[in-house]
Amino acid sequence: MLFKYRIVNVYLLLVFAVVVKCQNTVNRPCRVKSTGANGVCKVDRSCPKAQQDAESGIAPTICEILVSSIYVVCCEGATVSNVQASENSFLNGENNENNDRIVYESGEDSNLSLSERKCMEYNKDTVQRVEVIPLLSDPKPSGVLITKCKFDSVPLVVGGKPALPGEFPFMAVLGYTTTDSNVQWNCGGTLISDFYVMTAAHCVITKFGRPVLVRLGELDLSKDDDNSLPEDFGVSNVIPHPDYHPLSKNNDIALIRLSRQVKFTNFIRPACLWNTFNVRQNSAIATGWGATENGGSTVDVLQKVSLDLLEMSICDRTYGNLKYYKNGLPKTMLCAGKLKGGEDTCQGDSGGPLTVTKEDNQCIFYTVGITSFGRMCALENTPAIYTRVSEFIPWIEKTIWQ
């Protein structure tokens, strides 16, 4: 991962200052500070008395701050109620057996693609649904989604920097057998199910041969972890896209089936797949163990960098002189980088993910791109090319879930 080595003065004005604890908060007994009366902790929109006090200028007693300006307040006169939660809810202190469905966005499950349903299934422990009664004349319970993962890393502002343990639990690194029978880590990948890792096709059709080992839960390749991480998996099958073109790098995507099922943890969990052509976010996060300078050596510690998602016309100008792209880059590709230069993916980052999150849940990462190719790393006005994941959803779904 390439970035400029320079000191940057960044003034942080409380960009993200909410740490979600929430252990057994809702329905917990409490005391209202302004009156001394007994109460029960409730989501604010379920407590008419607290809203009335707030309108009168009386500050509510806060039991907990959740997310998106949702508060749990001490509600005077309230009683303990049955709170609906997911099987992984922190509200009941232990798993329940109801397997309540978690809805991430409006709409019925029948309207979701197979990969979207799998996204919900794999990430059910990162959110929980709390039923609240809105203050309406005809109240009906509605759901509030609360993120549960520990998201307390500093947002990416400039340049690249080392990742934190568990920050990118979907990250994979691919190992290849060397002439002296050792393992060399040459490409990245993305865990997308309990059996499959997604990578670039040029990472499985290489001069090194095909990968023989996939490592998950890795942070620092130079040392072992004390908590039984990382985990190594053998490779049972390698599936490059049938229309992959090695010279033009078109359809540069492949799937790797692991030799055994992955057990999800806080350090190992799949990323979701971005399903639509357009990406609403303006930037994305690239991760990998690639070189930190053009032509340099790869690094041991996983790096992260924020890159701008750019119009394809910009990359058309950069790569249009190549014979394969005289009519423009295909829609299966994505253009990303920093036009000012200085930040980029580089050698060794191939096959790794380009990901985004949504405002309502920064615990779930969506893979929008796969690191494919570029010119010299981090040159000014020279962004890189990524495989556009949304264009391959039918092939991925058919290959790994049907």
182-214 pLDDT tens trace = 888 889 999 999 999 999 999 999 877 899 999
- Contact call for residues 356 and 316 (beta carbons, < 8 A): no
Distances (CA, A) of 393 to 267, 397, 401: 25, 6, 11
Distances (CA, A) of 286 to 6, 50, 52, 219, 337: 20, 44, 47, 15, 10
Instruction: Give the Cα separation of 299 and 185 in Å (integer).
Output: 10
Is residue 307 scored above 80 in pLDDT? yes
Between 240 and 124, residue with greater pLDDT: 240
Between 13 and 291, residue with greater pLDDT: 291
Q: Where are the domains of the chain?
A: 29-147, 171-258, 269-400
Instruction: Give the Cα separation of 322 and 325 in Å (integer).
Output: 6
- State residue 48 phi and psi, 5-degree precision: -60, -35
pLDDT of amino acid 43: 76
pLDDT band for position 352 (cuts 50, 70, 90): very high
Instruction: Give the Cα separation of 261 and 40 in Å (integer).
Output: 44
Is residue 233 scored above 90 in pLDDT? yes
Instruction: Give the Cα separation of 197 and 191 in Å (integer).
Output: 4
Both tokens of 35, joined, read 């009156």
Instruction: Give the Cα separation of 384 and 352 in Å (integer).
Output: 13
Asked which of 19-28, 186-195, 311-320 is least confident by mean pLDDT, the reply is 19-28
Asked which of 147-156, 272-281, 319-328 is least confident by mean pLDDT, the reply is 147-156
pLDDT in tens, 86-99: 322 222 333 333 33
Task: Name the residues annotated as catalytic.
Answer: 202, 252, 350
Asked which of 9-23, 294-308, 381-395 is least confident by mean pLDDT, the reply is 9-23
Instruction: Give the Cα separation of 176 and 196 in Å (integer).
Output: 17
Asked which of 37-41, 283-287, 379-383 is least confident by mean pLDDT, the reply is 379-383
pLDDT of amino acid 50: 80
Buried b (16+ CB within 10 A) or exposed e, 318-334: bbeeeeebeeebeebbb
Distances (CA, A) of 210 to 67, 192, 230, 291, 354: 44, 19, 21, 21, 22
CATH of domain 269-400: 2.40.10.10
Averaged pLDDT, 61-68: 67
Q: Quick one: three-class SS letters along the chain?
A: CECCCCCCCCCCCCCCCCCCCCCCCCCCEEECCCCCCEEEEEEHHHCHHHHHHHHCCCCCCEEEECCCCCEEEEEECCCCCCCCCCCCCCCCCCCCCCCCCCCCCCCCHHHCCHHHHHHHHHCHHHEEEEEECCCCCCCCCEEEEEECCCCCCCCCCCCEEECCCCCCCCEEEEEEECCCCCEEEEEEEEECCCCEEEECHHHCCCCCCCCCEEEECCCECCCCCCCCCCEEEEEEEEEECCCCECCCCECCCEEEEECCCCCCCCCCCCCEECCCCCCCCCEEEEEECCECCCCCCECCECEEEEEEEECHHHHHHHHCCCHHHCCCCCCCEEEEECCCCCCECCCCCCCCEEEEEECCEEEEEEEEEEEEECCCCCCCCCCEEEEEHHHHHHHHHHHHCC
Give the number of other Cβ atoms within 10 Å of residue 14's Cβ.
6
Instruction: Give the Cα separation of 113 and 16 in Å (integer).
Output: 32
**Half-sphere exposure (Cβ direction) of 366: Cα atoms closer than 13 Å:** 26
Instruction: Give the Cα separation of 238 and 199 in Å (integer).
Output: 10
Instruction: Give 171-258's CATH code, choosing from 2.60.290.11, 3.40.50.2000, 2.40.10.10, 3.20.20.140.
Output: 2.40.10.10
Q: What is the mean pLDDT of the chain?
A: 75
Both tokens of 369, joined, read 């791109």
Between 162 and 212, residue with greater pLDDT: 212
The model's pTM: 0.69
Q: Would the CATH topology of 171-258 be identical to that of 269-400?
A: yes
Averaged pLDDT, 275-285: 92
